[in-house]
Amino acid sequence: MKRVHSLMRVTFFLALPGMMHSHLMAEETPASPGVAPQTEIVRTEKSLKEAVAKRFKMGVSVNNGVMTHPAEAAVLLRHFDTVTPENCMKMNVTQPTEGVFRFEEADAFVSYAQKNNLEIVGHTLLWARPENTPEWFFKDGDAPASAELVLKRLETHISTVAGRYKGKLAMWDVVNEALADSDEEYLRDTEWTRLLGEEYIIKSFEYARKADPDALLIYNDYRCDRPGKLKKLIRLVQSIRAKGAPIDAIGLQAHYEYGMIPFEGIEATLQAMRELKVKVVFSELDMDVVTRQRWYEDDGKHQEELSKFDPYPSECPPEVLESQAAQYARLFALILKYEDVVERVTFWNLHDGQSWLNDWPWKRHNHPLLFDRNLRPKPAFDAVIETLETPVQ
């Protein structure tokens, strides 16, 4: 694959840590006394967002650290037009204790994004797993909280968090992971469901719309490409919409595994959402190359063995990178086929070294993204660019 070079200059007023690579150059300008030297980082590879050419948004999830790291910020600004905060807008960070709101990180994130013309996706107002809802939500002193109290707290949380950034965010992941994993159950069995049934999802969307009327409101979940879960997703969209919930889009988390991308299921989901007139975002895209499926099989009996499995500690073998590239290319070709439905594609983290898949479900060196640990574009990057530049048949 041929890489055509173009120039884009990103200037930072910070010293450049780390190394130089063939696709980027740093030029230092002499500093005046007492002023830090300016480092200009020039990346020479093509730009993802330019290759997308506004057919959908090109996003990435990052933490605030990226913004103060010149080489990482250069990748961010060259390739992406949309950012999602990886953690700092979640309930456990914004309201760890009832009434104690913490916005330092989220404010810094929003301010950086605005200064750099990046659209922002809020993530997430409600993550419907027990471990992702602060315990105080369901307690009333020593007694369990009533449905009314929980709903009141939900309204306060959403109106405070979404209200703070009113007009500044393009989209919100309103509710995350509410559907049950098993095919038999509809909603995940949690305090939310036990107290309120579907009502907590409907109300979350209503509160979010009221707090930030112009934001695109998303229901976000994983593995909706499985037939059983897709059925439940369709049921959820139809049911909450019929009851007045202002849902605009669904988010497919898209945490795929190498060699196992469910292309047919993804296409079935895209078709179903096109019929329902609901937009789709690929909200958390990556491709695990030290795959995790076996971790969960046979009641977890392979976990001890897998916990020592780390096959690519330094470099990922070229044949794996090439195959990963082909799989990413096929995925983007499918996305382009549904560009009328797809609103955004967001990678979950900027480069391989930052991926959550290095730690979960066990520690290993993973290589799931388009940029390697040294910020070099991988074969998958070239494959995605080539796919984006190929005219759709």
Minimum CB separation of residue 1 from ligand G3I in Å reads 30
* Structural tokens at position 111: 């301010």
Binding of ligand G3I by 133 (CB under 6 A): no
Binding of ligand G3I by 87 (CB under 6 A): yes
Minimum CB separation of residue 133 from ligand G3I in Å reads 12
Site for ligand G3I in 371-390 (CB under 6 A): none
CB closer to ligand G3I out of 200 and 222: 222
Site for ligand G3I in 227-286 (CB under 6 A): 253, 284
CB closer to ligand G3I out of 38 and 303: 303
Which stretch in 83-91, 201-209, 243-251, 263-271 sits in contact with ligand G3I by CB under 6 A? 83-91
Minimum CB separation of residue 285 from ligand G3I in Å reads 11
Taking CA atoms, 316 is separated from 29, 38, 179, 320, 324, in Å, by 36, 34, 35, 7, 11
CB closer to ligand G3I out of 86 and 198: 86
CB closer to ligand G3I out of 292 and 330: 292
Among 295, 312, 356, 362, binds ligand G3I (CB under 6 A): 356
Is the separation of the CB atoms in 159 and 210 below 8 Å? yes
Binding of ligand G3I by 86 (CB under 6 A): yes
Nearest-angstrom CA–CA distance, 388 and 90: 33
Instruction: Give how many residues touch ligand G3I by CB under 6 A.
Output: 7
β pairing state of 249-252 and 216-221: parallel
What b/e sequence results for 313-346 when a residue is b if at least 16 CB atoms lie within 10 Å of its CB, and e otherwise? eeebeeebbebbbebbbebbbbbbebeebbbbbb
Nearest-angstrom CA–CA distance, 129 and 207: 20
Is the separation of the CB atoms in 281 and 293 below 8 Å? no
**Binding-residue pattern over the window 172 to 191 for ligand G3I, x denoting contact by CB under 6 A:** ----x---------------
Binding of ligand G3I by 295 (CB under 6 A): no
Minimum CB separation of residue 176 from ligand G3I in Å reads 6
CB closer to ligand G3I out of 62 and 325: 62
CB closer to ligand G3I out of 107 and 148: 107
CA neighbours closer than 13 Å in the CB half-sphere of residue 190: 25
Which stretch in 2-10, 32-40, 75-83, 86-94 sits in contact with ligand G3I by CB under 6 A? 86-94
Nearest-angstrom CA–CA distance, 5 and 25: 13
Residue with tokens 């038999």, as numbered in its chain: 184
Minimum CB separation of residue 135 from ligand G3I in Å reads 15
Taking CA atoms, 247 is separated from 58, 229, 349, in Å, by 21, 18, 26
Minimum CB separation of residue 350 from ligand G3I in Å reads 12
Q: Which residue is nearest to ligand G3I (CB)?
A: 356
**Residue from 338, 367, 194 nearest 270 by CA:** 338
Binding of ligand G3I by 343 (CB under 6 A): no
In which element (H, E) is residue 346 found? Answer: strand 342-347
Other beta carbons within 10 angstroms of residue 198's beta carbon come to 18
Active-site choice (86, 206, 284, 343): 284
**Residue from 382, 383, 352 nearest 369 by CA:** 352
Active-site choice (45, 177, 206, 343): 177
**Residue from 207, 84, 122 nearest 156 by CA:** 207
Active site includes 315? Answer: no
Other beta carbons within 10 angstroms of residue 386's beta carbon come to 17
Active site includes 177? Answer: yes
Which stretch in 16-24, 85-93, 209-217, 231-239 sits in contact with ligand G3I by CB under 6 A? 85-93
CB closer to ligand G3I out of 225 and 284: 284
Minimum CB separation of residue 366 from ligand G3I in Å reads 12
User: Which letter does DSSP use for residue 66 in this model?
Assistant: G
Tell me how long the chain is. Answer: 393
Residue with tokens 């469910």, as numbered in its chain: 262
Minimum CB separation of residue 357 from ligand G3I in Å reads 8
Q: Which residues are catalytic?
A: 177, 284
Q: Which residues bind ligand G3I (CB under 6 A)?
A: 86-87, 90, 176, 253, 284, 356
